[in-house]
């Protein structure tokens, strides 16, 4: 039986979560670790897809708009781009599964410039569960694209965080009230 659900674990890297990450949301992001690992385990055991769209950059890239907005982060091959904590261990234990995949993304949305929509459609996925960071940036932009592509969206509130609490709260409201997402604990 094929699953029609996928979990997207967005940008849960050292640079976005660890205390000494280049663009960290710190403790709010760190507090998600066990919830994200538990959800990945649960969905994987249920035969669902678990994909990790992960931000990647080149240092001082003059062509990327984020270079002007944020400090250098998630550079390929660096500690900062490695998955954070227990998720890194979970991924290393599961990355040989055809249902688990880490892939590069270079923009806020996991859909922008990737083949994500094509891969989801091939697998007949219609429901996306979103976790990761930052709630009001990459999770938000991925959710907006998912909405525009007619996916059902489930946001795991105990699986998202930001370095901006006001932005986080606004995004949770936007997911529910403007994108029709289901918000769960």
How does pLDDT run across 23-71, given as a tens digit for each residue? 999 999 999 999 999 999 999 999 999 999 999 998 888 887 887 888 7
Confidence band (pLDDT; 50, 70, 90) for 2?
Answer: low
Please tell me the distance from the alpha carbon of residue 64 to that of residue 69, in angstroms, as a whole number: 10
Nearest to 15 by CA among 86, 78, 104, 101: 78
Please tell me the distance from the alpha carbon of residue 69 to that of residue 168, in angstroms, as a whole number: 18
Q: Please say if the pLDDT value at position 1 is more than 70.
A: no
pLDDT of residue 160: 98
Helices 165-179, 140-148: inter-axial angle, 10-degree rounding: 10
Question: Using an 8 Å Cβ cutoff, are 87 and 36 in contact?
Answer: yes
57 burial via Cβ count (<10 Å: 0-12, 13-18, 19+): buried
* Count of domains for the chain: 1
Domain range enclosing 132: 5-184
pLDDT of residue 61: 83
CATH number at residue 78: 3.40.50.850
Question: Using an 8 Å Cβ cutoff, are 139 and 171 in contact?
Answer: yes
How do residues 103-158 score in pLDDT, each as one tens digit?
Answer: 999 999 999 999 999 999 999 999 999 999 999 999 999 999 999 999 999 999 99
* Per-residue tokens: 22: 């280049």
Of the two residues 113 and 1, the one the predictor is more confident about is: 113
pTM of the model: 0.96
């Amino acid at each position: 039986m094929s699953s029609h659900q996928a979990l997207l674990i967005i940008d849960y890297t050292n640079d976005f979560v660890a205390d000494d990450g280049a663009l960290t949301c710190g403790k709010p992001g760190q507090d998600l670790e066990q919830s994200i690992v538990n959800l990945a385990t649960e969905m994987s055991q249920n035969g669902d897809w678990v994909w990790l769209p992960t931000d990647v950059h080149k240092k001082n890239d003059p062509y990327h708009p984020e270079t002007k907005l944020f400090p250098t982060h998630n550079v390929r091959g660096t500690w900062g781009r490695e998955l954070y904590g227990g998720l890194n261990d979970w991924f290393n234990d599961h990355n040989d599964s055809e249902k688990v995949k880490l892939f590069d993304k270079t923009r806020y949305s996991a859909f922008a410039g990737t083949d994500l929509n094509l891969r989801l459609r091939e697998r007949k996925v219609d429901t996306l569960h979103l976790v990761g960071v930052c709630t009001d940036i990459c999770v938000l932009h991925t959710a907006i694209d998912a909405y525009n592509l007619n996916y059902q969206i489930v946001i795991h509130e105990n699986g998202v965080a930001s370095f901006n609490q006001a932005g986080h709260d606004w995004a949770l409201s936007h997911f529910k009230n403007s994108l029709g997402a289901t918000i769960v604990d």
